[in-house]
Structure 1
Amino acid sequence: MGSCRLYTCFAGKSRMTEAGPLREVKEMFNKYAEGGTHMTAEQLRLFLVEVQGHVGTSMAEAQQIMEQVLQRRHHLSKFARRSLTLDDFQHYLFSTDLNPPILNQVLQDMRAPLSHYFIFTGHNSYLTGNQLSSDCSDVPIIKALKRGVRAIELDLWPNSTKDNVNVLHGRTLTPPVEVIKCLRSIKENAFSASPYPVIITLEDHLTPDLQAKVAQMITQTFGEMLFYPESECLKEFPSPEELKYRIIISTKPPKEYLETKST
């Protein structure tokens, strides 16, 4: 959230696929290479200015980037070919040293509805390792927030005595962590990397009394940081600018409850 940079748009897909370059990369390459098979330094410069937001990029800087990519991928000297193939272009986009992610720079207008933006999202944010047997902890959540992740997922399950709530990957061997510990760590670290809102997605497997208990924990933990919509049915979301330093809760009734209602 907060960046129009192409690298950031692909952050959630952070892998080179064996099937070849991503569709979005192909589209961008075709646009700036004007349908050709190679991208020139001038075409790369235009891409850097218009998409990446590097307004003052010179031809010399674009040529230098091109030379670095070609030297790294093909061991070509600066006197050899000076154009990028589609594969070279994708390599550049996903190179964290040649095209690092934006940290605190905001290049977009952040006053559009929240749904208009890419959001850096975590999945099973509490797991320290694999999804079957690794520990559940607040440590991966803290690390994610410090990296700028804006959406944290918590899977909520009753504890063994059914009187409290744990976070764990259900029906696996993952040792749990108490939900209150996760909530407190989110509060302490939510805005360490960005002032824009943090969304907590709750995968709910709780009974109504435990749902009420979690609701109380959330209210007491976050207080005025919580975002409350003005009505049950919003016509559109507020903007990231309006939601700075706010916590948004996203949840739905548990599948267990829905299955019971339908029988």
Structure 2
Amino acid sequence: MKTGQLAELLRREFGFSGEESGSMCMAEEIVQNCRKSPALSAQEDDGITKEELLHFMISDLNYLLNPNALQVNEDTLQSPLAHYWISTSHNTYLKSKQVGNCWDGSDGEPIITHGRAGCSAVLFKDVIQAIKEEGFQTSSLPIILSFENHCCAKQQEMMAFYCITILGDLLLNEALEEWPIEPSMELPSPWALKNKVLIKNKKLTSRKQESRKPSRKKVYPSNDHGIIRIQIEVGLESGAENGEPSSLTECPQPVQLADLVNYTQAVPKMPSFADCRSRNMP
């Protein structure tokens, strides 16, 4: 594409509203920035190749937003969490790598891998340890761990145990006092959640919570961190005994892991904003 053609493209497709000479100057600047061979001068009017045009389209030169609006500071981080675009690893294998899912390990230890895809696996607890050590080295913004969870109830208990014992005070395991999870309450801001790790996972609904029988607790000896592990055995109402399958039985959700979920609850779908308000979804 010649430089003059690029200038016309800027006016016709990109909505450049300046004078014709202005669009030509911008086109020349783009050509100089995108050329693989910077030694070529704009006067030679070799233009840019298809690959170089694609490079321009996905580069910072073609930002949709004003870069000044993307500055991160205290003033720009005071809005509710839901007002921000959150960088996510979900399905980024479409362009880069996929951050794996949580699966049962053969030795009773939960693992992280891209299930049934021939990928290598790492221990869940090792990933949590790495997040504790490195997660806030370059930024104090909150980290949301979104669990695509395929683990059995027992190994989900282990997941919760590792999150609590390894992350310690970094883990936000209950709502902040200033931002209770109540109808009409906004989510806390990223600034209020600085240096905190939030768990995104499915959570027990009120109906399922009410159907549980009183829990029996088993207290295990304290680990090296001096924290006592509590296993909660949950009994269900007699729906399954009557031949009616229980969704909670089919997909057991340990109370410990559910209790770590607060502001970032995983939901199957969002049919409407009215439905979310009726279910008190922030």
State the TM-score, normalized to the length of structure 2.
0.49
> CA–CA distance in 2 between the matches of 1:247 and 1:67?
43
One of 128, 143, 156 as aligned partner of 1:198 = 143
One of 63, 84, 88 as aligned partner of 1:117 = 84
Instruction: Determine helix, strand or coil for the equivalent of 1:199.
Output: strand
CA RMSD of aligned residues (A): 4.9
Q: Deviations over 1:90-132 (max 9, x none)?
A: 6435247x689x9xx8257111122222222224799xx988x
Q: Deviations over 1:162-181 (max 9, x none)?
A: x3211122234333211100
The number of aligned residues is: 187
Deviation at 1:249, TM superposition (A): 0.8
Structure 1 residues 88, 233: closer, same or farther in 2, change over 3 A? farther
> CA–CA distance in 2 between the matches of 1:253 and 1:188?
27
Contact in 1 for aligned 2:143/2:196 (Cα 8 Å): yes
Instruction: Determine helix, strand or coil for the equivalent of 1:203.
Output: coil
> CA–CA distance in 2 between the matches of 1:38 and 1:208?
67
Return the letter of the residue paired with 1:94: I
Deviation at 1:212, TM superposition (A): 1.9
Instruction: Give ranges in structure 2 of 5+ residues lacking alignment.
Output: 1-8, 205-246, 252-282
Match of 1:160 in 2: 106
1:175 aligns with 2:120: yes
> CA–CA distance in 2 between the matches of 1:67 and 1:125?
30
> CA–CA distance in 2 between the matches of 1:222 and 1:215?
11
Instruction: Determine helix, strand or coil for the equivalent of 2:250.
Output: helix
Instruction: Determine helix, strand or coil for the equivalent of 2:77.
Output: coil
State the TM-score, normalized to the length of structure 1.
0.52
Q: How does 1:182-221 map to 2 (within 5 A)?
A: 182-221=127-166
Instruction: Determine helix, strand or coil for the equivalent of 1:212.
Output: helix
Structure with the greater alpha carbon radius of gyration: 2
> CA–CA distance in 2 between the matches of 1:122 and 1:37?
42
Structure 1 residues 93, 194: closer, same or farther in 2, change over 3 A? farther
Instruction: Determine helix, strand or coil for the equivalent of 1:173.
Output: coil
Instruction: Give ranges in structure 1 of 5+ residues lacking alignment.
Output: 1-25, 45-62, 132-152
> CA–CA distance in 1 between the matches of 2:24 and 2:186?
41
Deviation at 1:31, TM superposition (A): 6.5
1:249 aligns with 2:213: no
Structure 1 residues 217, 107: closer, same or farther in 2, change over 3 A? closer
Contact in 2 for aligned 1:165/1:214 (Cα 8 Å): yes
Structure 1 residues 70, 190: closer, same or farther in 2, change over 3 A? closer
Deviation at 1:209, TM superposition (A): 2.6
